[in-house]
Chains A and B, each alone.
Chain A
């Protein structure tokens, strides 16, 4: 952590890249300010609970890492700091945090929570505010669960064999993304192995600084067989989390295994781009697409061009550019639950920017962003049909299947 602190020369180039600074305009809610606060705490000059509200307000979007000319590894500072902080948190706050972390990463519990959500909503006046914010995130009805085979063979000549991470929240909230991913991979000559033993990858807990992340990570590493060319994920947060396993196990016995595993992890967009996608047929009508960069793809993994290339490879698709595209949409894991006001301000900002592009639909590569954008595009669209939001692979899937028809059959 000390190295990351020493690198900062206080130049302020991170300020415009920081979503909370953009919303709040306060130094203590900027990357530069938070580095000062963390340093003061680490050097015993400031009590932890004084600094914590501002550290908690950080989205962990890592926009500052992209902006920093001195290469300050802000993420490597934030994650261990949060873990240290969580151990000392006051009990009520710790419980709220735990409640979300005891629900979201477990598909069965999340499904149950969504089922009882309408009852809780009805009793809203009796529940605390923070619970209402958690409930608002859950869709009114859950999509029917889609059975996923343990193995799906390549169609045509086999070009690769991969393991697929299903994502814990994603498989409950948007199971169609995994179904589309499997169809697209198969069509590109890829054998898809879906290990039954997999659960949450631990990214959500890790980025919140919760020690359960290590348990999740161990199970994930054990779940994937050695004979796959890559561990493919279609959720930005999961991908960046799994690629951070070496940090999670630094100095631990699992360190080497974590590094080896992290190197096999790849986002589905990068995997397909490297493999070279089978050209999809031309769309029946031109489609204007605006691509939203998920922070955990762009800032955390440097993945910006690959998804855009995949979309541009679909004949009929034209890509629109988005103002302030580097700025987080406010989803950021548990952030929506813990900082609803800032999350909503960022969501509204992002929705306005997306609408200004006049695109037909939004493509993105992360379940968290997807939900956040749908929520805020629905709020922003004055009663009309909201701008649809789809995962990049879903658009590719529609193109292959010939089912792309904006305004009619598109699920959103």
Chain B
């Protein structure tokens, strides 16, 4: 089947308006929020139902085309970039919240529903969807499942896999099946667990039954400002040692503060070396007690200033500084490369020193935000891709940072997923015996090269990166 005949069959299956094949339309689907890579798809489909997704998958398979699922395109690992060409299945038109069960606290949603949209839809019931990645205003539930997204509050609520009870899946042959069950504790193999974080390599999730959480009675939020990063880090270690489990424990260094301050003028000091954002949720009296303890620990470890949110608006403003960090990076540089390493919490000061050393050696500016509570760090390398050789240098520095995380006893990704970016780095963590089990499992479920090929697991070459950097070198601007 040639491309023209595929386009005509796809058009018959889902409507010509929802089959994108002209170059000017395809060009907007060549990238996501992973700024150092891009590749054009051959065709993009925008199905509205599971049956339409299945029909598109069958046609692409018949045409021998690889299939890449895509949500809002906010991913940071290049997972939705079609590096082998083929068909992108964009799930953005499957955006219905089908059913909310307020008693059992579950929701049946389509994959294209935006994360924050679900929470705002159930807010009047006192409920929320717990995974809250920084991209939550735009990123979709399907994308959250594909990457097993985390967020600011996963310290206490866990990540996406802890909130997905069941998924409807279109497999690589275009068959539809349900994994898991609306009842908790589904027997059999943990298929939802396998799907969460599989990055579209074994099937396309089209609908999901997710858990909703109940808002607690009280929430208390404080922002602590420090003159030294070490003091902030020691505060985190002390809080963990005390046994208090805040719902969120976020840290940002001065470059990070500068980015959000340029946009939102929240009055954060330009000379503060670090800010720490702490939040506790509980009954009112327990939250107050925990917050008093936290404030005392902050003060004892050298916090120069404590800002307490006295109402929802102030709380929202404090969170805005953190949640909009990624989007505000355009204030600092035309491009950036976001890392997603994890280290044991006590290693935070050491890893930061190492990151600074790497930045100095490569002469690169690096801003840092951390989900300090679980040792997940997001160093962001700021750069201008128009400088010759810059992108390669940035990718090299990123690799060194992640290697340092692994050497410190951590991992190469906490919540952003692997994609094309960190594929080869999995070899630092797993030996061939382990990787081969993963490969065999994947290849059994989806024939090789069909579903999001050459993502997630090592292929033994950095080739897509060299592809990406070569493309970027031809850039005149970003």
Q: Is B401 an interface residue (CB 8 A)?
A: no
Q: Does B361 contact A (CB under 8 A)?
A: no
What distance in Å separates the Cβ of A80 from its nearest Cβ neighbour in chain B?
17
**What 0/1 pattern do residues 455 to 478 of B give for CB contact below 8 A with A?**
000000000000000000000111
Name the B residues within 8 Å of A27 (CB-CB).
Answer: 28-29, 73, 90, 92
A114 at the interface (CB under 8 A from B): no
Residues of B within 8 A of A26 (CB): 20, 25, 46, 90, 92
* Contact A70 B328, CB 8 Å, known A10-B33, A12-B138, A46-B27: yes
**CB-CB under 8 A for A25 and B95, given A5-B477, A12-B135:** yes
Contacts of B235 in A (CB 8 A): none
How many angstroms from the CA of A50 to the CA of B324 in the assembled complex? 33
A7 to B328, CA, bound (A): 9
In the bound complex, CA of A72 to CA of B330 (Å): 8
Bound-complex Cα distance A8 to B330 (A): 6
Q: Assuming A37-B27, A51-B24, is B90 touching A12 (CB within 8 A)? A: no
Q: Are A6 and B334 in contact (CB under 8 A)?
A: yes
Quick check: B263 and A70 within 8 Å, CB to CB? yes
Report Cα–Cα, A6/B324, bound state, in Å.
18
What is the count of residue pairs linking A and B with beta-carbon distances less than 8 angstroms? 121
**A5-25 Cβ-contact flags toward B at 8 Å (1 or 0):** 111111111111000010001
The minimal Cβ–Cβ distance linking B404 to chain A, given in whole angstroms, is: 25
Question: Once bound together, how far apart are the Cα atoms of A68 and B23, in whole Å?
Answer: 27
Which chain B residues numbered 76 to 131 have a C-beta less than 8 Å away from chain A? 90, 92-93, 95, 112, 114, 116-117
Cβ of B22 under 8 Å from chain A:
yes
B303-340 Cβ-contact flags toward A at 8 Å (1 or 0): 00000000000000000000011111111001110000
A302 within 8 A of B: no
A39 to B476, CA, bound (A): 10
Separation of A48 and B219 alpha carbons in the complex (Å) = 52
- The answer to whether B24 touches A12, judged by C-beta atoms less than 8 angstroms apart, is no
For residue A129, CB closer than 8 A to chain B, the reply is no
Q: Of A6, A12, A68, which contacts B73 at CB under 8 A? A: A12
Q: Say yes or no: B74 contacts A9, CB within 8 Å.
A: no
- Determine whether the beta carbon of A9 is less than 8 Å from that of B324: no
Which residues of the partner chain A approach B22 to less than 8 Å between Cβ atoms? 50
Verify if B244 is at the interface (C-beta below 8 Å from A): no
Tell me whether A70 and B114 are in contact (CB under 8 A).
no
Which residues of B sit under 8 angstroms from A25, Cβ to Cβ? 46, 90, 92-93, 95, 112
Instruction: Verify if A150 is at the interface (C-beta below 8 Å from B).
Output: no
With CB as the reference atom, state the residue of chain B lying closest to A52.
Answer: B24
B327-366: which residues lie under 8 A (CB-CB) from chain A?
327-331, 334-336
Do the beta carbons of A7 and B330 come within 8 Å of each other?
yes
How near does chain B come to A14, taking the closest CB pair, in angstroms?
8
The reply to whether B28 and A11 contact each other, CB–CB distance below 8 Å, is: no
User: Which residues in window 31-67 of A have CB below 8 A to B?
Assistant: 32-33, 36-37, 39-40, 43, 46-47, 50-51, 54, 67
**Given A10-B32, A12-B74, residue A68 in contact with residue B24 (CB < 8 A):** no
Known: A25-B95, A26-B46, A28-B25. A11 touches B327 (CB 8 A): yes
Which residues of B have CB within 8 Å of A15? 72, 114, 138
Cβ-defined contact, B117 with A16, below 8 A = yes
Minimum distance in angstroms from A340 CB to a CB of chain B? 16
Bound form: Cα–Cα A15–B478 in Å: 19
B119 nearest CB across to chain A (Å)? 12
How many Å lie between the Cα of A5 and that of B334 in the bound state?
9
Are A9 and B330 in touch, CB under 8 angstroms?
yes
Knowing A9-B335, A11-B135, A12-B72 touch, does A71 contact B330 (C-beta < 8 A)? yes
User: Which A-chain residue is minimally distant from B24 (CB atoms)?
Assistant: A50
Known: A26-B46, A27-B29, A70-B329. A13 touches B24 (CB 8 A): no
Q: Can you list 14 pairs linking A and B with CB atoms under 8 Å apart?
A: A12-B72, A16-B137, A26-B46, A27-B73, A27-B90, A36-B28, A43-B476, A46-B23, A47-B24, A50-B22, A54-B25, A68-B327, A69-B328, A69-B330
Q: What 10 A-B pairs are tightest by C-beta distance, nearest first?
A: A70-B330, A69-B327, A50-B24, A33-B28, A69-B328, A25-B92, A69-B324, A25-B93, A11-B327, A12-B74
4 more contacts with CB within 8 A, not counting A6-B330, A11-B74, A54-B25, are A9-B329, A28-B24, A30-B28, A39-B477
